[in-house]
Amino acid sequence: MMKLGEGPMTSNADAAAIRPLAIEARGLVKRFDGFTAVGGVDLAVPEGSIYGVLGPNGAGKTTTLRMLLGIIDPDEGLRRVLGHDRPHEVAHAIGYLPEERGLYPAMKAYEAIAFLGSLRGLPLVEGRRRGKELLEEHGLGYAIDRQIRQLSKGMAQQVQLLGTLVHEPRLVVFDEPFSGLDALNQGKLEKMIRGLAAKGTTVIFSTHVIAHAERLCDEVAIIAGGKVPFAGAVDVARDRIRPQVRLETRAADGPWRRALPADARNEGAFWLFNLPESGIEPLLRALIEGEAGILSLSIERAGLHDAFVAIAGEAAARALEEDKPEEPR
């Protein structure tokens, strides 16, 4: 039987081959009562990267993460986490923030952090000390002795986030971490994620908000219908769509018009078309020689949203847009 690390890798792994992998999975399949929730997922997450699992609700993101963490076992496929085929063997080195938040209401904030750390092997005494430090560092020192029931929902989420990190894990897995956070706390979380990666921690998070993935991620896996039609660098995903050229000329007509690509369309004062495969230079020469009078010319690269539509299809993109984040309080 072939083991992980033997034989050909996925294209995502080939691109990441220069770095060790924190997570590697091949052909993960999970069925529930005859329904295939995940139908053959391949992933390769380089150590120290910020990796996004992007897709609409119900696409299979949470099921995939739970299989990777060993919370549930796949029906088919192989996985390796931090070099181990059994994720439970390295649970102490992993931090996990599930989508379903939950803390004991009667616990004080610092005790809740210590308790979560203890579940990953951190001694309670050390967890309490670190919990107080983390709350102070993140502007929540006033809440150290408050019970969870006395905190706002946003504050409780921050406490659980700190509990996910208190044991200083090598790998952090967030499931929809931005859900329910206001814009200010979303910005703080983005900064925290970048800080973790800067220290060498691997961060993988699921989201249905493309903007978060585009701003943060080195690589993404696009998941739709329990499958992964794309996994790799964000720039590679965006390059699936040719850049768009926007051209404005002083002259309305002339011999230069013959140099415009066949897909060029006129919208008011502008010409819009895909960047030619030959590049922009031949067209520039024709425009100058034909005295078009270039007033403006811009080349706009496709965004991750357009790439998602091209890769996953219109239906998946519509489902992504229809997902409404929980209203923060």
User: What CATH number does the domain containing 204 carry?
Assistant: 3.40.50.300
* pLDDT at site 28: 95
pLDDT over 90, % of the chain: 65
Characterize the bridge pairing of strands 294-300 and 171-175. unpaired
**Same domain assignment for residues 231 and 264:** no
pLDDT at 190 over 80: yes
- Residue 83: how many CB atoms within 10 A of its CB? 14
Q: Are strands 265-267 and 270-274 parallel, antiparallel or unpaired?
A: antiparallel
Q: In the predicted model, what is the mean pLDDT of residues 30-53?
A: 94
In a domain, 3, yes or no: no
Check residue 2 and give its pLDDT: 38
In this structure, are 132 and 260 located in the same domain?
no
pLDDT at 15 over 50: no
Residue 182 in any domain: the answer is yes
Mean per-residue pLDDT over the chain, rounded: 88
pLDDT-derived band at 164, boundaries 50, 70, 90: very high
Q: Is the pLDDT of residue 79 over 90?
A: yes
The pLDDT value recorded for residue 305 is 83
The answer to whether residues 220 and 95 belong to one domain is yes
Indicate the pairing of strand 171-175 with strand 94-97: parallel
- pLDDT at residue number 312: 79
Q: Radius of gyration (Cα) for the chain, nearest Å?
A: 24
Same structural domain for residues 232 and 260?
Answer: no
Cα–Cα distance for residue pair 172/68, rounded to 1 Å: 12
- Position of tokens 């990267």? 49
Same-domain check for residues 130 and 161: yes
Residue 213 in any domain: the answer is yes
Residue where the block lists tokens 């403006």: 296
Spatial distance between the Cα atoms of 259 and 154, rounded to a whole number of angstroms: 57
Judge contact between 117 and 164, C-beta under 8 A. Answer: no
* C-alpha dist (Å) from residue 6 to 1, 21, 34, 129: 10, 14, 31, 44
Is 328 among the domain residues?
A: no
Q: What is the mean pLDDT of residues 241-262?
A: 91
The CA distance from 176 to 98, in Å, is 8
For the cut 90, the answer to whether the pLDDT of residue 183 exceeds it is no
Q: Is 103 among the domain residues?
A: yes
Those residues whose C-beta lies under 8 Å from the C-beta of residue 34, and which sit 6 or more positions away, are none
CA within 13 Å, CB half, 303:
7
Measured CA to CA, the distance from residue 276 to residue 264 in angstroms comes to: 10
pLDDT top residue among 145 and 326: 145
Identify whether residues 151 and 253 lie together within a single domain.
no
| Residue 306 within any structural domain of the chain | no
Claim to verify: residue 290 and residue 204 sit in the same structural domain: no
Q: Which of the listed residues 209, 238, 267 is the one where a domain comes to its end?
A: 238
Helix (H) / strand (E) containing 154: helix 153-165
Task: Give the pTM.
Answer: 0.80
Inside any domain, residue 325:
no
Is the confidence at residue 106, as pLDDT, over 90? yes
Residues 160 and 292 in one domain: no
Q: How far apart are CA 93 and CA 100, in angstroms?
A: 21
Residues 126 and 254 in one domain: no
Residues 45 and 22 in one domain: yes
Residue 5, pLDDT above cutoff 70: no
Domain count, the chain: 2
Contact 313, 230 (CB under 8 A): no
| Residues 176 and 286 both lie in one domain | no
Q: Do 22 and 137 reside in the same domain of the chain?
A: yes
Whether residue 309 is contained in a domain is answered as no
Greatest C-alpha distance within the chain: 80
Please give the residue range of the domain that contains residue 192. 11-238
Q: Contact, 112 vs 150, CB < 8 A? A: no
Average pLDDT over residues 308-324: 74
Give the model confidence (pLDDT) of 219-232 as tens digits.
Answer: 999 998 889 999 99
pLDDT at 184 over 50: yes
- Place 310 in a pLDDT band, splitting at 50, 70 and 90: confident
